[in-house]
Chain A
Amino acid sequence: MQNVLNGIPLWWYLVVSSALFCIGLYGTLARKNAIALLMGVELMLNAANINLLAFWRYLAPDTSGGLAFAAFVLVIAAAEAAVGLALVISVYRTTRSIDPEALDQMKL
């Protein structure tokens, strides 16, 4: 089979990353708690990183584009986690609740 590195074909990594992405997607859609929602988002970003780095390693390991892309995803995930959790803490201080469905003051 083509694209095999040390016995591991590329599609193994892609299946694992898509499974992790789907688990993270379920966690983001089906949870009542704002912090658990952010945990699901972090799982999705990790899955994207696995995908990017697997493709980079198997197809073009002598370039730097894949590494740069994955590095930027990593940094943006960290930044977004920081801001999201700061928002959750701030909302908890004022409304004593971290249920995202309770924040509906701006609903029509």
Chain B
Amino acid sequence: MTIQQVLFIIISLAVLGAALFVVTTRNLFRAALMMILTFFGVAGLFVLLEIGLFAVAQVLIYIGAISILVIFAVMLTRGMQGMVPRNAQAVAAAVTVAIVFAVLLLILGPLRVTIDLARWPVISLFAGNASPREVGGIAWTPANQPVPPMSETYIADFGRALVDLNQYLLPFLLIAFLVDVVLAGAIFIARQRRPAEVIEERRLRAEEDAEEAEAMRRAVPQPALPESAVASAADH
């Protein structure tokens, strides 16, 4: 058991445990803090992969920017805390997710299963003469191939590839454009409304409420007033 294996197991358990807390807790603020722990764990996994650039980028971007943004949003929408964490599809979602994980494990894990269709009771009628086949496992890994060493200058090579016309310049420029648009768009969407806009929004909402009340009144049949009640009201 090398030290890297021990570290990997500890970091993975931290990542998955914190992620489970994030998706099951009722307290949004604690969920945000546990999400920060998840991101730290993922940065640790990147360090184990010997990719220092992405470990630092993960900490800077995910923890330094996205998590702070999430905490801002949690604080600005304080009125809706304390709701039941699960919605109506929770059980179906859990079952689906378990199936997805089982299928992924079969494909990505080292387990290889031999399926012989001829021995299955009903399917064998349609299988014909299909030979038993192996599924699962990572069939594509060439045997006995050691992991190539990483070059010392991988950051410089990556930087050069991002500005090289024949490599990744176009996606790089597109991403830069995307970030500009997103910056402007997010500010515009979440802007503080000016008083005139606030009055306009309130008027529109009042109109919508009035229309809805009118529609509901028309949908429910009005009960007819008894004659005696109308006559007595006219007398007094």
Contacts and interface: CB of A to CB of B under 8 A. Distances in A.
Interface of A: 1-16, 18-27, 29-33, 35-36, 38-40, 42-43, 46, 49-50, 53-54, 57-58, 60-62, 64-65, 67-68, 70-72, 74-79, 81-83, 85-90, 92-94, 96-99, 101
Contacts of A98: 77, 80
A49 B149 CA distance: 21
12 contacts: A11-B138, A19-B101, A20-B16, A36-B31, A39-B70, A46-B62, A49-B58, A50-B46, A72-B171, A83-B185, A85-B72, A89-B73
B117 interface: no
Nearest to A61: B150
B87 interface: yes
Contacts of A10: 138, 141
B51 A32 contact: no
A105 to B, nearest CB: 8
A22 to B, nearest CB: 4
Nearest to B103: A18
B151 interface: yes
Contact of A32 (B15, B83, B142, B186): B83
Nearest to A7: B2
Interface in B38-58: 38-39, 42, 45-46, 48-51, 53-54, 57-58
Nearest to B99: A22
B72 A23 contact: no
B90 A30 contact: yes
B199 interface: no
Contact of A46 (B39, B53, B179): B39
Interface string B73-110: 11011011001111101100110111011001100111
A53 B69 contact: no
B65 A74 contact: no
A49 B110 CA distance: 21
Nearest to B43: A46
Categorize the interface residue count of chain B.
35 or more
A46 B138 CA distance: 22
A26 B97 contact: yes
Interface stretch (B4-12, B118-126, B223-231): B4-12
Given A25-B100, A76-B178, 4 more contacts: A6-B4, A14-B138, A38-B70, A49-B42
Interface of B: 1-2, 4-5, 8, 12, 15-16, 19-20, 22-23, 28, 31-32, 35, 38-39, 42, 45-46, 48-51, 53-54, 57-58, 61-62, 65-66, 69-70, 72-74, 76-77, 79-80, 83-87, 89-90, 93-94, 96-98, 100-101, 104-105, 108-110, 138, 141-151, 154, 157-158, 161-162, 167-168, 171-172, 175, 178-179, 182-183, 185-187, 189-190, 193, 201, 205
A15 B105 contact: yes
Interface of B is mostly: helix
Contacts of B110: 1, 9, 11
A87 B189 contact: yes
Contacts of A7: 1-2, 4-5
B83 A33 contact: yes
Contacts of A90: 189-190
